[in-house]
A and B are shown apart, each in its own frame.
Chain A
Amino acid sequence: MKKIEVITRPYKLDEIKEKLTTIGIKGMTVSEVKGFGRQRGHTEVYRGAEYQVDFVPKVKMELVVEDGLAAEVIKTIQAAAQTGEVGDGKIFVTTVDEVIRIRTGETGNAAV
């Protein structure tokens, strides 16, 4: 099983979710995060004093899928999230040792 973690532009969230749903993904976890990479932050001004704010609002999606699905999921996410501008974000893929469904105790692919 693979855990796919995506950090990308907030307004792309719905589009990515929609595309993933059409290829059969049934669940994911989303959080609002802030961070920076190559994309610059923005300036805020309060009573004439200027502050550089490095952290840009982003959205983080996490989903765990069967090994065989990972490549297609990644391709789908990349296609949906890409604008070509700096700030599109990143996809991290890691191997997951075990998944347990709390309600039933199922493990492995059955629990994904």
Chain B
Amino acid sequence: MNAADTAFVLISAALVLIMTPGLGLFYGGMVRGKNVLGTLMHSNILIGTVSVLWAIAGYSLAFGGDIGGLIGNFDYLFLKDVGMTAKEGVDNIPHLAFMIFQCMFAVITPALITGAFAERIKFSGFLLFTTLWLFVVYCPMAHWVWGGGWMAKMGALDFAGGAVVHMSSGASALAAALYLGKRHGYGKQAFIPHNLPLTILGAGLLWFGWFGFNAGSALAANGLAASAFVTTHLAAAAAAVSWIVVEWFHRGKPTTLGMASGAVAGLVAITPAAGFVGPMPAIIMGLIAGGLCYGGVLLKGVLKYDDALDVVGIHGLGGTFGALATGVFCSKAVNELGADGLIYGNAHQVWIQFISIVATWGFCFVMSLILFKVVDLMVGIRVSVDDETKGLDVSQHSEVGYQL
């Protein structure tokens, strides 16, 4: 047990927590004014529901004893045997510290999906979907990658959640956009962000919290944490710049929303790689991610689905690129528990990463589609046209964000 490590992981858990309200602001600024509270609620209430579900059963399903490489067992149900002493395999911090750090990841992941069904989902359907999704999609994914499941055994590298958090939410977001359909009037009227300063504040909080997300994933206050901290920062910085450069050429003006979106795209891309690559590859990954995700966001116009706040374009595409690039740039010189990537002569790592990408997209997309169908049959998933026109704030919560 190590006091510095424990302090660092607890602080990192708090940093990851702040990402969820930050994400709420990031998304909340991008919707129309009549949906601002509904959108903030989508992120923030998950801190409530997911945290409780995680303590009751989620943690055990993700990190309990391995069952066939697929899911955890019920050893830690109701946090039984999760105490102040260390967990087997993570002997430097209390088991409780590890559990609560992981809890924050489970909270933000379904919150990421909410950008895809923003402005049109029914609140009851949303709660049921995210609850089922946690158990059916997130817990298995977390187990496969971090809980000793098949992806970890195969050697797939995912330092802080490229597959578990970003690809999974991106793939589920695509299912959401396809199942729920377009917002009323989409394509005919302008859907303009109502408060970009909120969005930029949210992006700042995400960036800040992401240091806990990535550096904290070292689970120790050591050199690897410092390395992950630096790669995280540099990738975000590079992507913020590359996004506005690309849009400057493409549309003639650099935008603040582009700067914020680029930073998030860079953070997403570096997430699987943070503890496996050096600073210069991180800058290269950021530069590519900013331009790539700018293109990803334009894709929805071509393919004609309404991914309202671009979860597929940024988290899906950015996460996928990050996972592949991890296989290219990873180095045992950075992390001896990792592997050498393509540029160090190990092309096989890219193939392993590719398999993990296909499996993650396929599993999360299909399961999410099924869950949306189930929830739709049980409580309904989409609000009426009338409620959508009034906005989610009044129709779902009887409140409005701004009183004139």
**Do A and B actually bind?**
yes
Name B270-317 residues within 8 Å CB distance of A: none
Nearest CB on B from A30, distance (A): 13
Interface residues on A, range: 10 to 19
Asked if B230 CB lies within 8 Å of chain A CBs, one says: no
Which label, helix, strand, loop or mixed, suits the secondary structure of the B interface?
loop
A46 CA to B394 CA, complexed, in Å = 12
Tell me the residues in window 1-30 of chain A with beta carbons closer than 8 Å to chain B beta carbons. 9-11, 13-15
Are A14 and B394 in contact, CB atoms less than 8 angstroms apart?
no
Q: How far is the CA of A45 from the CA of B390 in the complex (A)?
A: 16
- Cα distance A9–B398 when bound, in Å? 20
Whether the pair A11, B398 counts as a contact (CB closer than 8 A) is no
Interchain nearest-CB distance for A103 vs B (Å):
28
* Residues on the A chain within 8 Å of B390, using CB: 42
Interface check B195, CB cutoff 8 A: no
Nearest residue (CB) in B for A41 is B394
Contacts of B399 in A (CB 8 A): 44-46
Could you tell me the distance between the alpha carbons of A34 and B404 in the complex, rounded to whole angstroms?
A: 10
Inside 8 A of A94's CB, which chain B residues have their CB?
none
Question: Which residue numbers of A lie inside 8 Å of B, CB to CB?
Answer: 9-11, 13-15, 34, 42-46
- Residues in chain B within 8 A of chain A (CB atoms): 184-185, 188-189, 389-390, 394, 398-400, 404
Give me the 10 closest cross-chain CB pairs, A-B, nearest first: A45-B398, A14-B189, A44-B398, A11-B389, A42-B394, A43-B398, A44-B399, A14-B188, A11-B185, A44-B400
23 contacts between A and B (CB under 8 A): A9-B389, A10-B389, A11-B184, A11-B185, A11-B189, A11-B389, A13-B189, A14-B185, A14-B188, A14-B189, A15-B188, A34-B404, A42-B390, A42-B394, A42-B398, A43-B398, A44-B394, A44-B398, A44-B399, A44-B400, A45-B398, A45-B399, A46-B399
